[in-house]
Structure 1
Amino acid sequence: MLIEIRQIEPRDVDGFYAVLDAVARERRYLAFLEAPPIEAARVFVENNLKRGYPHLIALSDEQVVGWCDITPMNRPIYGHCGVLGMGLLPAFRGQRVGTRLVRAALADARRIGLHRVELTVRETNASAISLYKAMEFKIEGVKRDGVQIDGRYENLLMMAVLF
């Protein structure tokens, strides 16, 4: 299966939105349980493109199947930091697509001058933690009971990589 990794374009917003919503509705990986309104996703993509921020997508047969973005923090003292977000449709997990997305996004983060990229990941998400460790992210802390879904608490790991 051929997977193309490239920078998102305005024409990809609907596909990105569909994947974002699908992954969010799994209730296992993201910081929200459904995608925000489509217009918010469109503005997010447009801002990333306008500012040259890393926002990569994975395509299979011209359909968006995953993404990885790194958004720089907006306060001056954190300007050297970016926050990574990503997701993949279930059928494309475990095939190194996530590795390719993260690697490309981190290369773009270096290109735009970021020094640090951070993320949070649920402690139960062993495959994502393994991916991030392979990309040289280090665990910096634990947010105990950092999320609550359906009455259950889960810890969040705080991870970062420095360039």
Structure 2
Amino acid sequence: MDNSQITIRPIYDWDLVQLNQIRTREDVCMNILALPTETLKETKDYFFDNPHFIHTFVAVNQNNKEKDVIGYVRLLQYQEVRLHHRGKISIAIDPTYHQCGVGTKLLAKIIDYAKKWMRLEKLELTVLENNEKAIGLYKKFGFEIEGIFKKDTLVDGNYENVVFMSLML
């Protein structure tokens, strides 16, 4: 797919059904903390629970008439005053669109937004240790590994290691 057909924009209420469909796909759930049983209300709470501290952009495929949402990046700014300079990123993309530049566009957008609009100094994320493609993408943007959480996240019945990465802005 030509990634010039992918646009990045802020999230809207009407995106929730498609975002829920992405988040509840079994092949996506394996890499994020959502469960395949996540309800639409739970998806809404995830994205809109605290609008002052949660900022989300979606990737849209302009190539089809439905203009499908194909991924998102979410930035949660820590509410504690002494942690206000930090934000935590989560990202998910419909696997149909992996290796099409969607992750690159989403990360570029959220990093720019964090710098210019939020004045954040540090972005953080966690990623499963075996998700080498995602780790490679984050490193491409300058994220560095700060540590590994052993047997941190339950995935398909087993506890998997998680890599903690950060980017100083």
Q: What TM-score does the superposition give when structure 2 sets the normalisation length?
A: 0.86
Q: Percent identity over the alignment?
A: 26
The SS at the match of 1:54 is strand
After superposition, residues 56-75 of structure 1 pair within 5 angstroms as: 56-60=57-61, 61=64, 62-75=67-80
2:156 equivalent to 1:150: yes
* Deviation of 1:12 (Å): 1.4
After superposition, residues 15-34 of structure 1 pair within 5 angstroms as: 15-22=18-25, 25-26=26-27, 27-34=29-36
**Structure 2 CA distance, aligned partners of 1:6 and 1:161?**
23
* Deviation of 1:73 (Å): 1.2
Kept after mapping to 2: 8 A contact 1:53/1:109 = no
The SS at the match of 2:43 is helix
Kept after mapping to 1: 8 A contact 2:74/2:89 = yes
Deviates more, 1:87-96 or 1:147-156: 147-156
Equivalent residue, structure 1, for 2:146:
140
2:107 equivalent to 1:102: yes
After superposition, residues 113-124 of structure 1 pair within 5 angstroms as: 113-124=119-130
Deviates more, 1:31-40 or 1:136-145: 31-40
Deviates more, 1:111-120 or 1:12-21: 12-21
**Structure 2 CA distance, aligned partners of 1:52 and 1:145?**
29
Kept after mapping to 1: 8 A contact 2:6/2:59 = yes
For the structure 1 residues 38 and 75, does the alpha-carbon distance in structure 2 shift closer, same or farther, using more than 3 Å as the test? same
2:46 equivalent to 1:40: no
The SS at the match of 2:8 is strand
AA in 2 matched with 1:88 = I
Equivalent residue, structure 2, for 1:159:
165
CA RMSD for the aligned pairs?
1.8
Kept after mapping to 1: 8 A contact 2:148/2:162 = yes
* Deviation of 1:33 (Å): 2.8
2:98 pairs with one of 93, 97, 101? 93
Equivalent residue, structure 1, for 2:52:
51
The SS at the match of 1:112 is coil
* Deviation of 1:52 (Å): 7.2
AA in 1 matched with 2:9 = R
Deviates more, 1:34-43 or 1:79-88: 34-43
AA in 2 matched with 1:57 = V
Gapped runs of 5+ residues in structure 1?
none
Deviates more, 1:77-86 or 1:33-42: 33-42
Aligned length: 160
AA in 1 matched with 2:83 = Y
String of CA shifts for 1:20-44, please: whole Å, max 9, x gaps.
222xx22421123336331232234
AA in 2 matched with 1:39 = K
2:6 pairs with one of 3, 6, 16? 3
